[in-house]
Amino acid sequence: MLQRQSLRRGVVGLVDMEWGRPWESWPHRGPRMRIRTAVYPEELAAAPGPTGTVLDGTGLVTMGPLKVIVDGALGSHSAYTREAYTDGHGYAGHGVLSVGPEASRDALAEARRRGLTAAVHAIGDAAAQVALAAIAEVGIAARIEHAQMLTDDDVDAMAALGVIASVRPAHLLDDRDATESIWPGHGTQAFRLRDLREAGVELALGSDAPVAPLDPWLAMAAAVHRSADERPAWHPAQRLQPREALAASTDGVGTLAVGGRADLVLLEEADELFADVPVGAGGLMDEASAREAADRLRAVDPLATVVAGRLESQR
């Protein structure tokens, strides 16, 4: 069911970050799309490596990264932040540091020894600081999962280290009001997609399913307009053009080429769908045009999805 629904939406691959040992179960689940299986520190000794190791006969299931969860979520006050929350209900803490600097460094060092890359969950800016310090010390290829609240120094560090920003744009639709309510004055640090891109940080847009819908078109729409209702875009300077949002949604594949992956999604009127939104004199995308572009992305219904040269879904 998961694969069928995902393929129907034009998704050609997943990173499975469930607990346990997903690398053992996926080869027996009839994979129809590309699957990367993650491992948590508790199971690291049992995980195959290095990252990219093929785990099944189809070649679709491969070993992915070590996942380390440094902090929690913003809405529950558990994202680890440099400055305290001020929610008007008496809570003024800094959130929860789930995995501290030493434990993070040790886990990443072991992953590097095993040839694994890292995916470090960090929503709060203090969590990002911990994650980036560990990544820099170990020298491991890594992604920051969420990269939701960042200072200028964090953005610069990600660019310098070559760390990928694995962002969940749909969460900005949910966390917009929460941010302004429980961490007022810090909205400029949230979902800095434009700043990250212009700093040279590679963006990878994702869903965080099942927390948010497994829908790449919703993620792209959120990145383009940054609003889920009648309100104007939240911090509009951070919006992406539709083609930029698409480029951040293709697992780093920028062109179709002989010998490349034969993973394709057939769409109607793609030229219009990914046309640039006009930019005004102030350098901001036109609000009405950005909203229309996001609406078109939300309405996408792929004609067909091809994985590894095989037609896996067709309308």
pLDDT at 21 over 90: yes
Nearest by Cα to 267 from 292, 241, 304, 306: 304
Q: Give residue 199's pLDDT.
A: 98
Reported as a single tens digit per residue, the pLDDT across 141-167 is: 999 999 999 999 999 999 999 999 999
Tokens (6 digits) for 9: 């939406």
User: Is the distance from CB of 205 to CB of 220 less than 8 angstroms?
Assistant: yes
pLDDT at 89 over 90: no
Reported as a single tens digit per residue, the pLDDT across 98-117 is: 999 999 999 999 999 999 99
Reported as a single tens digit per residue, the pLDDT across 232-276 is: 999 999 999 999 999 999 999 988 889 889 999 999 988 999 999
pLDDT at 30 over 90: yes
Summarize the confidence of residues 279-299 as an average pLDDT: 95
The share of the chain scoring above pLDDT 70, in percent, equals 99
Summarize the confidence of residues 57-70 as an average pLDDT: 97
Q: Which DSSP letter does residue 285 get?
A: B
User: Domain spanning 2-314 has what CATH number?
Assistant: 3.20.20.140
* Contacts by residues 56-62 (CB-CB < 8 Å, ≥ 24 positions apart): 56/26, 56/27, 56/31, 57/27, 58/31, 58/308, 59/308, 60/31, 60/32, 60/33, 60/34, 60/35, 60/307, 60/308, 61/23, 61/26, 61/27, 61/31, 61/35, 61/37, 62/34, 62/35, 62/36, 62/37
* Lowest mean pLDDT, pick from 32-41, 88-97, 150-159, 162-171: 88-97
* Lowest mean pLDDT, pick from 87-96, 220-229, 250-259, 263-272: 87-96
Reported as a single tens digit per residue, the pLDDT across 117-139 is: 999 999 999 999 999 999 999 99
pLDDT at 207 over 90: yes
Q: Give residue 76's pLDDT.
A: 87
pLDDT band at residue 1 using 50, 70 and 90 as cut-offs: confident
Contacts of 241 (CB under 8 A, 6+ apart): 224, 276, 277, 285
pTM of the model: 0.95
Q: Give residue 90's pLDDT.
A: 65
pLDDT at 217 over 70: yes
Task: Report the SS3 class of residue 302.
Answer: coil
Q: Give residue 122's pLDDT.
A: 98
The domain segmentation of the chain, as residue ranges, is: 2-314
